[in-house]
Structure 1
Amino acid sequence: MHGSGAVQGGDAGEVASLRKLVDPEDPSALSSTTPQLNTALHLAALHGHAAFAGEVLVRNEELLVARNDDGDTPLHLAAKAGKLEAAELLVGRALAWPQDRKSPLIMTNKAGNTALHEAVRNRRGAVAEALLDADPSRAYDLNEQMESPLHMAAREGLVHVVRKIFDFTWVEAEYVPSVAVSGTALHQAVLGGHTKIVEIMLEKHVWLLHLTDSDGNNALHYAAQKNKSQLVELLLNKQAQLAYKPNGERQSPLHVAAHYGSTAAIKALLRCCPDVAEMVDSCGRDAFHISVASGKTNALRCLLRHVRPAELLNRVDNDGNTPLHLAAKMSRVQSALLLLNDRRVDPCARDHDDHTARSLVEVKLHAGEMDAYEMYLWKQLKQQELKRCGKQQLPPLAPYPSRRASNDKYFECIVETYILVATLIATVTFAATFSVPGGYGDDGTAVHCDKIAFNIFIISNTVAMCSSIVVVFCFIWAWQDPVRFKVDQLLCGHRLTVIACLAMLVSLTTAVYITVDPESRWPAYVVIVIGMSTPAVVFLMLGKEVIFVPM
């Protein structure tokens, strides 16, 4: 575009150049555009050259409502870029715009955003306040996503903008549900975790607490979802009844917190309203059921610590499932084990089909679909039934399936791998016994036998060797009865292998420590640090999985 280079400077010299280049009698040169359809006024607004923009408007005021390829007016671009001086100039001209023509303050771009939308969306607080001073009612305009500048400001945490909006007359309009917007402006503030904005809103209009989104969720549902305990407490202090308000699926805020694993929110809700744990959703499920179904073991652990009545832990849903039944059906092994460890949970309870949790797991056993974790769970459920359900009639205990029912190639690979690893450990540790650090003296005894480090080496080396020998023999006999082996011995064999590996690490570090020159111990210390960090690294990578069989 001709003359666009002059816009980049924006000082008095360029204004003077503009006056020379553009004939006052024929300002048509100012109507030329860039390939993006930006006029000289668009560029001046974008770069914040207010004096230049003012000179352009003197010559062609129609450029105030010109649109570029995105539908943006110069005021949109000034708002996006946060150019306050240019924005104030354009706002002043917009206020003087003829009333029978559409004002730049209400013009929208292709996204349906006004200049105020763009200022707030781009976190240009000063420009947004200037626009609000000019026309406060624009704070409630909805774009194509049914989102107002107030929604955006609440979500973005623009405290001063929200305060200014609430200082003006409040527009008490019904909330327009939309899939693109999560609830009201209060919901947006909660989603963003902006406590100060929530306080401002509720100080002015506490009735906002009663508004819900299109799914019936109130602001407390949102705070529970995002695990914002401070906001949960703030909302409950304003109105404790919010904790008992269900959404469209009859879920309380505690249900939502359990579903998302929001432990801080769970604690805050139960501290203020302990009886909210009694609420059930449309499927008859309480928070325990929800935490199991969603696989949130941290939420389940928190509920077990803070909910006391035993009947809530054994309540059945509409299908007759207790939380333990649900964990068994959905293969939530960790959740089931947590429940089993709580003496209040009844492993003898039956569902509508007369199944206990143990008999539900057995269904997978006979279908050949049970993995090592579920087999471990089955074993624990059987033990609990034997201990606690002796006086009750229970489904018959299923026998182990025949050997032919367990034709698992992956199981074969697992067994072969363990045998190979254990054999290697046994071989290495056996060899280390006859080549001890420092060697032997003339009398046939080890040179360093009087040192504590040497005794640690001998003990750890023996532990590694003996553990690996036990693993080898156990896994050789695995083919006698593969299913029974998976349930009863596989986990023990795995853990013995882990012990053997750890003992071998100890053996390595002590051997290095013994053989290094006492005057220069630093290499030994480095080796010890590396050896000690190895189990930590493995645990960080695998977590608790490291103590279970990878099946």
Structure 2
Amino acid sequence: MDPALYKAATQGKVARLNQLVDPEDPSILSSTTPQLNTALHLAAAHGHAAFADEVLDKDEELLVARNDDGDTPLHLAAKAGKLEVAELLVSRALAWPQDKKSPLVMTNKVGNTALHEAVRNRRGAVAVALLDADPGRAYDLNEQMESPLHMAAREGLVHVVRKIFDFTWVEAEYVPSVAVSGTALHQAVLGGHTSNASCFFAVEIVDIMVEKHIWLLDLTDSDGNNALHYAAQKNNSQVVELLLNKQAQLAYKPNGERQSPLHVAAHYGSTAVIKAMLRHCPDVAEMVDIHGRNALHVSVTSGKTNALRYLLRHIRPAELLNRVDGNGDTPLHIAAKMSRVQSALLLLNDRRVELCVRDRDGQTARSLVEIKLHTGEMDAYEMYLWKQLKQQESKRCRKQQLPPLAPYPSRRASNDKYFECIVETYILVATLIATVTFAATSSVPGGYHDDGIAVHSNNIAFHIFIISNTVAMCSSIVVVFCFIWAWQDPVRFKVDQLLWGHRLTVIACLAMLVSLMTAVYITIAPESRWPAYVVIVIGMSTPAVVFLMLGKEVIFVPM
């Protein structure tokens, strides 16, 4: 393309255009950029309506010119949201000869019309202008089998969806595809999960659709999922409330895998949806999928402990907690087999859960966890779980015949390559803490009087310093002695003492932080308070930062 024409098109200079184009030979307008964009494409993308109008007066065939992506100028105006240019191109398209393909129906290389592009890029005003020109385009399917209605519903464009539904509804049969799951109603549900605003728009769009056509609730995707399954997946409780108020039976309609919406909510950890469903339909918890699993089984399998916690809190019948699936496993058996330690502990703490139930192989949850003990694959979390299961089983299953309790394996059975490194690390850390705290005791903040009494002995902060320093030193000494004996029986040590050693090390570190803060306060606060307060704030934030980074794992051994 002529650089002068390119510059005039991108800047919208009509006078310069007239200078460049020969009225007798407008062929210069047929020149393109490397991406095959004409001057009209450029003017449309930059929103220069007057320039575009002048170009079309000189060569109206450019209205249907395509660039390398198959986009017409109307596609680019729709993508960029240039309303004035879009309205000009639409008016020209409406006057286009009927024996020629209109720009309103032309598609690019991915099968999108201009309306598809306007909606996909959230250009609501342009989309409305295109709908006013040709409402039927709202149901055109692209190569991914998405219509503009699908996109508008998913993007939360309420006014566009309302505009589409104001026209005659096209009862097109749903065509399943890889890229799109479900109907436009499903897409509306999917769109409302990224923020509170999008949830609000999703509720409004779903309400518009259902009010116009209640039968949309009966439509499913190719896997048999209804709109409530989708809302459960995205934890959209507001939409769930709306759908259940419209048709409560949706909660009982299974998909192709016989999963209820509650199963889906449990799989994705959608606690807000679980709450809404159990409030509206409490007996939906009895439903089982194609594998005989209820929502409790599913929440354990997926590792969603928050969902399991809520289900345990709101499901009353004990038989649901101990129901066996198609493989003969209760939720606790699954937790033990899959090493879902947190889920297993939640179930263990519920007195309704029966620990004595055996699976088809005659194993209890305790014996399932125990299997890993002899292979040397048991980590610190599983060791803690095994210990808890043993204790609870001995209390709650005294009259039951159970698999024999396995003894600790021989010392040679421990082949954990990280064990030696971990023990040495803990001994080193504990020794350093003991050394530092002992040194701090010898040179207390403020020093001593001539009679050997500490200068700040009557200060409350000094009392806190002494106590915290003593806690740090004694905790570290206990850790040192415990870990010295680790080699006596590594397996027993990992099960019974390693976790306590780790927690004592954590306590020693926290106590050392308290010692630091009180020492600084004692020595600096009398002269300059703000540095002392800054140190205290930093010290208090340190455990919070560690917990933020590691979460609950901070209380477990990193094995």
TM category, shorter? over 0.9
Among 508, 515, 524, the residue aligned to 2:516: 508
Aligned to 2:326: 318
- 5 Å-filtered alignment, 1:202-217, equals 202-217=210-225
1:272 aligned onto 2:280: yes
Aligned to 1:7: 9
Aligned to 2:53: 54
Identity rate, percent: 86
Among 477, 484, 497, the residue aligned to 1:489: 497
- Which string of whole-angstrom CA distances, capped at 9 and with x for unpartnered residues, describes residues 211-251 of structure 1? 11121111111111111111110111111011111111111
Aligned to 1:22: 22
Aligned to 1:338: 346
- 5 Å-filtered alignment, 1:453-464, equals 453-464=461-472
1:387 aligned onto 2:387: no
Within 1, Cα distance between the matches of 2:556 and 2:350? Answer: 21
Within 2, Cα distance between the matches of 1:436 and 1:335? Answer: 47
Aligned to 1:528: 536
1:547 aligned onto 2:547: no
Among 293, 296, 308, the residue aligned to 1:300: 308
**Superposition deviation, residue 15 in structure 1:** 6.4
Within 1, Cα distance between the matches of 2:273 and 2:515? Answer: 47
Aligned to 1:157: 156
Aligned to 2:165: 166
Retained in 1: the 8 A contact 2:430–2:477? yes
Are the structure 2 counterparts of residues 520 and 38 from structure 1 closer, same or farther at C-alpha, using a change threshold of 3 Å?
A: closer
Within 1, Cα distance between the matches of 2:413 and 2:10? Answer: 80
**Superposition deviation, residue 73 in structure 1:** 1.4
**Superposition deviation, residue 309 in structure 1:** 1.2
Aligned to 1:473: 481
Within 1, Cα distance between the matches of 2:166 and 2:45? Answer: 30
**Superposition deviation, residue 13 in structure 1:** 3.4
505-514 vs 6-15, which moves further = 6-15
1:95 aligned onto 2:103: no
Retained in 1: the 8 A contact 2:321–2:353? yes
Retained in 2: the 8 A contact 1:15–1:51? no
**Superposition deviation, residue 9 in structure 1:** 4.5
306-315 vs 424-433, which moves further = 424-433
**Superposition deviation, residue 74 in structure 1:** 1.8
1:234 aligned onto 2:242: yes
154-163 vs 381-390, which moves further = 154-163
Structure 1 residue runs of 5 or longer lacking an equivalent are none
Aligned to 1:40: 39
Retained in 1: the 8 A contact 2:14–2:54? no
Structure 2 residue runs of 5 or longer lacking an equivalent are 193-201
Aligned to 1:220: 228
- Which string of whole-angstrom CA distances, capped at 9 and with x for unpartnered residues, describes residues 460-508 of structure 1? 1221121111111111111111111111111111111111111122222
Q: What letter corresponds to residue 390 of structure 1 in structure 2?
A: R
Q: What letter corresponds to residue 276 of structure 1 in structure 2?
A: V
203-212 vs 429-438, which moves further = 429-438
Aligned to 2:189: 190
- 5 Å-filtered alignment, 1:59-138, equals 59-138=58-137
Aligned residues: 548
Within 2, Cα distance between the matches of 1:11 and 1:400? Answer: 87
**Aligned to 1:409, what secondary structure does the other structure show?**
coil
Retained in 2: the 8 A contact 1:7–1:14? no
Q: What letter corresponds to residue 408 of structure 1 in structure 2?
A: D
Are the structure 2 counterparts of residues 52 and 348 from structure 1 closer, same or farther at C-alpha, using a change threshold of 3 Å?
A: same
TM-score, normalization by structure 2:
0.95
Q: What letter corresponds to residue 442 of structure 1 in structure 2?
A: D
- Which string of whole-angstrom CA distances, capped at 9 and with x for unpartnered residues, describes residues 41-85 of structure 1? 222322333333333333322222221111111221222222222
Are the structure 2 counterparts of residues 512 and 28 from structure 1 closer, same or farther at C-alpha, using a change threshold of 3 Å?
A: closer
Within 2, Cα distance between the matches of 1:295 and 1:512? Answer: 45
Retained in 2: the 8 A contact 1:129–1:164? yes
Retained in 2: the 8 A contact 1:78–1:86? yes
Within 1, Cα distance between the matches of 2:162 and 2:525? Answer: 72
- Which string of whole-angstrom CA distances, capped at 9 and with x for unpartnered residues, describes residues 389-410 of structure 1? 0011111111110111013231
RMSD across aligned positions (CA): 1.6
TM-score, normalization by structure 1:
0.96
Within 2, Cα distance between the matches of 1:263 and 1:58? Answer: 61
**Superposition deviation, residue 363 in structure 1:** 0.8
- Which string of whole-angstrom CA distances, capped at 9 and with x for unpartnered residues, describes residues 90-135 of structure 1? 2222222222222211111111111111111121112211111121
**Superposition deviation, residue 182 in structure 1:** 2.0
466-475 vs 94-103, which moves further = 94-103
**Superposition deviation, residue 4 in structure 1:** 3.5
Are the structure 2 counterparts of residues 7 and 419 from structure 1 closer, same or farther at C-alpha, using a change threshold of 3 Å?
A: closer
Within 1, Cα distance between the matches of 2:496 and 2:11? Answer: 81
Aligned to 2:199: none
**Superposition deviation, residue 300 in structure 1:** 0.8
Within 2, Cα distance between the matches of 1:270 and 1:295? Answer: 20
213-222 vs 381-390, which moves further = 213-222
Within 2, Cα distance between the matches of 1:228 and 1:442? Answer: 72
Aligned to 1:287: 295
Retained in 1: the 8 A contact 2:8–2:14? no
1:451 aligned onto 2:462: no
Within 1, Cα distance between the matches of 2:8 and 2:428? Answer: 78
Retained in 1: the 8 A contact 2:376–2:416? no
Among 420, 435, 441, the residue aligned to 1:433: 441
Q: What letter corresponds to residue 157 of structure 1 in structure 2?
A: G
Are the structure 2 counterparts of residues 520 and 47 from structure 1 closer, same or farther at C-alpha, using a change threshold of 3 Å?
A: closer
Aligned to 1:403: 411
Are the structure 2 counterparts of residues 424 and 53 from structure 1 closer, same or farther at C-alpha, using a change threshold of 3 Å?
A: closer
**Superposition deviation, residue 511 in structure 1:** 2.0
- Which string of whole-angstrom CA distances, capped at 9 and with x for unpartnered residues, describes residues 384-433 of structure 1? 10110001111111111011101323111111111111122222222222
